[in-house]
């Protein structure tokens, strides 16, 4: 037995407590996990599909901590990274909104939730990494009077983004679902 195996020997379940069809519990479980993913970076969660695309606040952070010249982020390399991430975030949000609009029928979402969860959580990690890097040592504070609240929030957001690729189904699980269910690749 693997250390991660869990067995419920002699467990009692009443017939009226049955969810779904008899002997199809994994089907119900998969749909519950898919629903969870839709909120954990899939549709309407981290990526913000329900939000309108908006101004990208990372640019303001970069101007504040790295400098501004003629209304632009002074450091060209940082400016390029901020712009690229902003475009990727907007593209994800617009794609999520399109899929939600196409799925107004109320049916179970497709395996696109796995794709959105994977892309969204990775994008969030990139965003929080860059924000902390832009802030330098001010972006890694945990407490103390020498840090502003936004700087402390940056640290907590950066650390929290690490868990995003695990909860709701790890990125490895999402890639497996995408490979098997979307791309129809062999085991």
pLDDT band at 87 (very low <50, low <70, confident <90, very high): very high
Kindly list the domain boundaries of the chain, sorted by start residue: 33-102+113-182
Q: Tens of pLDDT along 41-67?
A: 555 443 444 444 444 589 999 999 999
Q: Please write the tens of the pLDDT for every residue from 23-32.
A: 887 777 766 6
Confidence at 107, pLDDT banded by 50, 70, 90: low
Q: DSSP state, 107?
A: P
In words, the CATH class of domain 33-102+113-182 is: mainly alpha
Which residues make Cβ contacts (< 8 Å) with residue 168, sequence separation at least 6? 33, 36, 37, 39, 40, 41, 42, 117
What is the model's pTM?
0.69
Task: Give tens-digit pLDDT for 149-185.
Answer: 999 999 999 999 888 888 767 888 888 888 888 888 8
pLDDT band with cut points at 50, 70 and 90 for residue 81: very high
Which tokens belong to 69? 């010249």
């Amino acid at each position: 037995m693997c250390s991660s195996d869990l067995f419920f020997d002699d467990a009692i379940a009443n017939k009226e407590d049955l969810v779904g069809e008899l002997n199809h519990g994994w089907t119900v479980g998969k749909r519950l996990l898919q629903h969870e993913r839709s909120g954990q970076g899939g549709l309407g969660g981290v990526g913000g599909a329900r939000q309108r695309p908006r101004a990208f606040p990372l640019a303001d952070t970069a101007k504040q901590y790295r400098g501004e010249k003629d209304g632009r982020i002074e450091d060209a390399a940082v400016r390029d990274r901020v712009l690229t991430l902003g475009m990727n975030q907007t593209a994800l949000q617009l794609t999520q909104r399109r899929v939600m609009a196409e799925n107004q029928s109320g049916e179970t979402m497709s395996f696109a939730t796995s794709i959105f969860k994977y892309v969204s959580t990775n994008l969030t990690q990139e965003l929080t990494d860059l924000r902390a890097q832009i802030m330098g040592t001010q972006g890694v504070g945990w407490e103390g009077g020498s840090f502003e609240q936004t700087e402390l929030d940056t640290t907590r957001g950066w650390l929290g983004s690490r868990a995003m690729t695990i909860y709701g189904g790890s990125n490895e699980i999402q890639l497996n679902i995408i490979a098997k269910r979307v791309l129809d690749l062999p085991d």
